[in-house]
Structure 1
Amino acid sequence: MNKLLEVAMSEEWFEKEGLEQEPAIWEDGIRIDTGSGKFEWWYFDAHLDDGTTVVAIFFTKSYANIKVPLTPLVKLSITTPEGKTYLKLIEFPKGDFMASDKQCDIKVANNWVKGDLKTYNLHIDFEEISADLQFNRVVPSWRPGVGKCFFGEAKKEFFAWFVPIPYGTVSGKLKFEGKEHEVMGTGYHDHNWGNVPLTKVIDHWYWGRVDIGEYKAIFFEMISAKKYCYERVNLFMFAKGDKILIGDGSKLTLEKSDYITHRGGKKYPEQLTFHWKDKNDSIEINISNPELIDDRSLLSGMPFLKRKIAGVVVNPYYFRFNGKTEININYKDIKENVKDKSLYEIMMLK
């Protein structure tokens, strides 16, 4: 990997960051100040037994414009089994934001989330839609190395990622369509922060998670910006039951084929194949037949004139899919083939 891009994995980095190999509760508290040039968010999603999906996010500001001071946002999205989505993204005054550095304890007006890596309780109420959910961890908390990717020789600019709940159970209540719904299912929680505009350092990324029977996986491929020679960063976690078997993404590669042209002008692959290989051990994840469940321009929230001007230079887009998934496992004494669907996203920042 070139010297302009480094995933912080060495023992030296653990010493510099003051971290142990096993994640601690405070790591899911606020990790960076909320001033100009910094960003942070706490992301939760749930796939419920009745087919409903939920995404909830607490932001210190929009990652599309990190030059602003603290501008807290809360997002709640509920998609029914029929495919109808109820979405609210609300900006709040900075005085409504509070966050602890001791654990995940975030409050934005009357919305909040609090947890200790093992259990999280989340409350968001936007009148028309609301969520009161509890997330309980099954797979141990995980981060790749110290959880930071550094850009530039000075190693000061970074994008960080921590996954307190790679896989867990979810229960609670949702309100939408004027009714309250008791729900149960499975969930995920991660936490990102950084001090550099993502559009400056990243061209695009692929992220997804797999939950098939007793096997759980998280995959991530980030392609850096032209300045960093489009260098790739691959991260990977693979678990069986409540045990993480693989946490090293350096041996992961991604093949893409059969591109589809979207109406927004972007192309995305219909076929993804992730290969992880270490000597005689291998994991292969094949994803095909993507079902598009979310697609939006990242310029859509801008005023009309600014959007037109920006669109001349860039066309950033976000896509989220459910895909037909097959995993071929040849790891130590595990020889198995499993199939189902999985959730993944493509973020195109250019």
Structure 2
Amino acid sequence: MHRPDRRFVLSAADGGALEAALPQADPPPGAKPRGSREIGREEMTALHRAVAAVRYADSRHGGGSAQAQAAAHLLDQWVRPMLGRPLTDDRQRELCAVSAELARLAGWAALDTGRHSAARHYFDRALYWARTANAPDLTAYVLTTAALHTTLYGRPGDALALIDGALGTAGHVHARVVGFTKLVEARAHARAGDARAVAAALTTAERLLDKPCSHGAPEWIDFFTHPRLAADAAEIHRDLGDVRACLAWHEQASAMAPNAFTRSVGLRLTVVATVHLKAGDLEQSLALGHRALDILRYVDSNRARDYVRRLAVGLTSHRTLRAVDAFLARLRQEFAPAGHPAPVA
């Protein structure tokens, strides 16, 4: 895991406006402290730009990358000091919402690197800031992210309780945000083995994704598109053991661009490679496995390594075959699979 890169954050902010928000350790004698002046629109624009850059970089480079780790740095070193400066009510709500976004991103980076206690800590902070900002969309999204965390690491019952909390504000939340919540609900039901509940939640997620709305969706939910829904649906049906449905959803997800959604595309290819292996199609499993390694080899993500590890475990019984042995050798050289994910205490 890398340390946050200050140059990355400043370049993402596009100039000195965010630099001006940094607390100065030793101001000149008699100088007016920077923290005493009001926060201008230019600073806020730069901050929003930096947050968006961190969000997109996480998807491309993984939670262990310097870019993704910059979320916690932005929150603690830049945004929190700004909250001590003169603020209008609107500006305070805006900064609290930014704090919620950054804490959620920091939690996701922690999840992606196997630091589950840290992830829960950041999600709790994100929920506090979202509620303080009086931002129902963000509140629902943070609860949904926390639900996805508990789903991925074996606690679908706890995830469904968090989903209920997120849906409790549905009347005040954008349809696309609720749609993503229903998608995560489908993932939790799949882990619990409830195919009927999966079908209902997934159908609702699709309907809400297409639902017209009088006001635009938040920028941070722009990743939730039909290809992203299809990618998750492929994994959902893998969990249910439905090979045919998994492969059909996989085809619908093919429009996802690996240069923008690098980790997601690589994870999906690994999931489908595992499904082909279980179905006895070793050739297709290896082909997708190699494509996944091509995409994921530069992504710093323990979660991705765990997906690859599961594929490698399944292939071990075929290692006497030259093609399988070559794949496992490549994996050892380029993408050493991690051990089991850290337990969720």
**TM-score range for the pair, normalised by the shorter chain length:** under 0.3
Give the structure with the higher percent helix: 2
TM-score normalised by structure 1 residue count: 0.25
Give the structure with the higher percent strand: 1
The structure with the larger Rg is: 2
